[in-house]
Structure 1
Amino acid sequence: MPSSSFIVLLGLLFVGGVADAQSTVLATLPGARRIELAPDDARPASEIVISANVSTGLFFDSDLLRDGIELEGRDRFSLVDVGQTTLRLVPSPRVTAGDQFRLVVRFQDGAAPRSATFLLRAHPANAEPLVEVYRGRRTIETYQQEAREVRDALVRCQQERAQLMAEHEAPAGLAGLISTKALDEHGVAGWVVTKDVAHAAGNVLEATIVRSYRSSTRVAVEIHLAVNSGAQPWVGKGAMLRTKAGVELKVLRLWQEHPILTGEIGRVVVEAEASAALVQGPFSLKLWEEDGPRSLTLTNVTFP
């Protein structure tokens, strides 16, 4: 739920009234992941994805024992805020992709389960912003909300499947762009934005050339990528295009010319859905490899 309204909501929840309205919060937060604890605590530790400088909030349906929180590598978190029924974590920039931390929380009432263990796994971009942890019975509202989210996800999958089938059956080249309505009479506009974009601190990858493109319904960023360190070839796993307000575009594909060795330059293209209204203003672009620390973050990416 990457939007400015979500950030405001999250801040309000943590600042005040969380404990008094906990049952309502757990029943109404859309998009939150749900974890249910077994009374015998026999299940393995639940994994939660975190990212550097990104807030992850855990909401519990029971009061926490504040002095009973154990967090491995606590000095590598810039914020660990323990509330009556909430825990907010913000990893510091020292946390890199692939890092793992063990988190143990304990509950005040002593009922089973008396504690819960989680495995925090660092990812370059895909942090889970909200996690609801249920120790007792869930309200009917939470099941209804979950059912709505499952239906919404099913509709999205059906739409994506229809789009993939249409693209698969479409002809190649310009005819394919026209048939899928990605191209209109205005054609495709392109810019060279190499001098405009800024590299985030700590990048081990370097964008030597950056070009941006826009059609009627799509945008694309072409990056000539140099790998400055690392023994293994760099192969892109994921990409994220986000507005300054925190709205993420739907990335359709990440195409890479070939695995990039240290000292080499390869071409990477990120394509995303975007209407004309969405492409106004600067974007941040992030690329990452699978289970590896090497990533690239570019800011001030603009489209024609």
Structure 2
Amino acid sequence: MSLPCSWVAVLVVLVGTEAAAQPRVDGRRKAEQVIVLRAGEALAAHVLRVAPDAATLVLFDAPVVRESVDSLSLQSFERAEVTERSLVLRPAEELRPGTSLRLTVRFADGKAPRQVEFELTSDPDAVDTQVEVRRGEKSEAQLVAALAELRGRCAVTEAALAPLRTRCARAGLAGLFVSGELDREWGVTAHRPERRAEAQGVRDAEQATVFRTGGTVMVGMGLENPLGQRPWAADSARLVRLDAEGRPLEEARRLPVALEPERVGPGESAWVAVQWEEPLEAPAAAVRLEVMDAHGRGLRWERLEIVPAVAEPPMAPRSRGRKVAP
């Protein structure tokens, strides 16, 4: 089968762009690969380079049997998620040099080849961030259909990115002002509550500061991950709004967490922020706030006062991944 010259040109441009960009994470090159399985070929193990700095996503073109994956062999992984069509892997720490882990995934339809074998290894220079597993090569008609679908998805994505680009262009205080998110009369107020967080498995590196502008409230804090601990990454924040007597005003809600850097290694620190909107007609006097990872490690305030009062907010450094004293 031969492809039209225009397709070849598109593929050359895409491959060239990928080679030139060479995205990296913590010094490793982020790689993608396609594994094609053919009936009648001898079963061989396909190498997957995994790392704690990035998740490896494996996509299957046919449903797989989730129970066929040995979960016990992956119990030390920070992420090991299996669905009908995908597999997500992220070890909690580096695999030991010279060692590997075998993993078998079986297809649900029973057609040949019935399964795929993986060999999980660690490579200091590269990590596989996306892997596609296909059984047999696609026909020209299938490639045309896939290309049309991809173009449609790109058009939808481009339309969704347009307003985001506009918002990103209005960054900083100037962006807040012109967007109306900044209180034009009072600006931004800040205060630092006296009560510090209860630390669980981490350290409270910087006392929390509450920032307010209009109905927007943001709590910023510093967090340290002690040496000898597993990497820390925020799962989500749990917030309960309280009245002046400490009674809940509503049910607990989950909020996204902004983290810089996004993953805190042992002996490193990070800046953490949680933001929400307070109704101006019935604002809370305080909140109960938890910022935890998936293992229950993080910071907790039983009562964090959010009454605004002018104070000196902490200055976040521009450097990433600050090292802390053991």
How high is the TM-score relative to the length of structure 1?
A: 0.45
Q: Which has the higher contact order (CA 8 A, sep 6+)?
A: 1
Q: Which has the larger radius of gyration?
A: 2
